[in-house]
C-alpha cells in the first residue's frame, strides 16, 4: 500500500515537472530579433511626391527588398539587398537591425528601429568619401503595395 502511494506520487511529480518544462513557442516570444519580427511584413513611406516600399524577409543573406519611385510614375525602381557586393550584419537585436551594404565604390549603412507602430530607417551613405544621411518613417501596410511593375534597367 505504501509502495503504491509512493509510486503514484512519483508519477504525479514527474507529470507536473514535465508539463512545466514544456516550451510553448508560438512565435510571439519577446526574445525575437527585429528582423525576425519584421519577416513577411511590408512598409510604405511617402512624402507626397515620392514613395518607397520595403518588404522584409527573415533571411540574413537577403533581409529586404526595396521599391521606390514617383507617386505618379508608371513603374518602380527595384532593389534586392543581396545584390550588393557584400552585406554585413552589424546588429540584429530585439530593437535594432543594422546592416552595411558595400558596392565597391560606395557603401550604405541601414539602421532599422521601431518607433511606436512605425518603422524608422536611418541610412548613411558613403559615396567615395562624400557622406550623406537620410531618415524615413514607414507605416506598415497589410494589403500589399500598388503593383506597377519594375522599371526597365
Q: How far apart are the first and last CA of the chain?
A: 84
Q: Which three cell numbers stand for residue 11?
A: 508519477
Rounded mean pLDDT, 8-30: 51
* Domains observed in the chain: 30-141 (2.40.128)
Residue 82 DSSP class: G
- Predicted confidence at residue 20, as pLDDT, reads 54
Decide: 133 and 124 in contact? Cβ < 8 Å: yes
Q: What is the mean pLDDT of the chain?
A: 84
**Which residue shows C-alpha cell 508608371?**
74
Query: pLDDT tens, 58-79?
Result: 999 999 999 999 888 888 899 9
Which three-class secondary structure state does DSSP give residue 4?
A: helix
Residue 66 vs residues 43, 44, 53, 54, 139: alpha-carbon distances, Å: 10, 10, 6, 5, 14
Query: pLDDT tens, 86-134?
Result: 999 999 999 999 999 999 999 999 999 999 999 999 999 999 889 999 9
Which three-class secondary structure state does DSSP give residue 131?
A: strand
Measure the CA–CA gap between 122 and 88, rounded to whole angstroms: 16
Quickly list DSSP for 7-68: HHHHHHHHHHHHHHH-----S--TT--HHHHHTT-EEEEE-SSEEEEEEE-S-TTS-EEEEE
Amino acid at each position: 500500500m505504501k509502495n503504491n502511494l509512493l509510486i503514484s506520487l512519483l508519477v504525479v511529480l514527474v507529470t507536473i515537472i514535465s508539463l512545466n518544462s514544456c516550451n510553448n513557442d508560438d512565435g510571439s516570444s519577446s526574445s525575437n530579433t527585429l528582423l525576425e519580427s519584421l519577416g513577411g511584413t511590408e512598409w510604405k513611406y511617402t512624402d507626397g511626391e515620392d514613395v518607397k516600399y520595403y518588404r522584409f524577409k527573415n533571411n540574413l543573406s537577403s533581409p529586404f527588398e526595396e521599391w521606390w519611385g514617383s507617386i505618379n510614375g508608371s513603374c518602380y525602381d527595384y532593389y534586392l539587398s543581396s545584390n550588393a557586393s557584400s552585406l554585413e550584419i552589424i546588429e540584429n537585436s530585439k530593437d535594432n537591425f543594422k546592416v552595411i551594404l558595400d558596392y565597391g565604390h560606395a557603401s550604405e549603412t541601414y539602421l532599422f528601429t521601431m518607433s511606436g507602430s512605425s518603422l524608422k530607417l536611418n541610412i548613411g551613405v558613403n559615396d567615395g568619401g562624400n557622406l550623406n544621411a537620410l531618415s524615413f518613417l514607414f507605416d506598415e501596410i497589410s494589403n500589399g503595395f500598388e503593383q506597377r511593375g519594375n522599371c526597365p534597367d
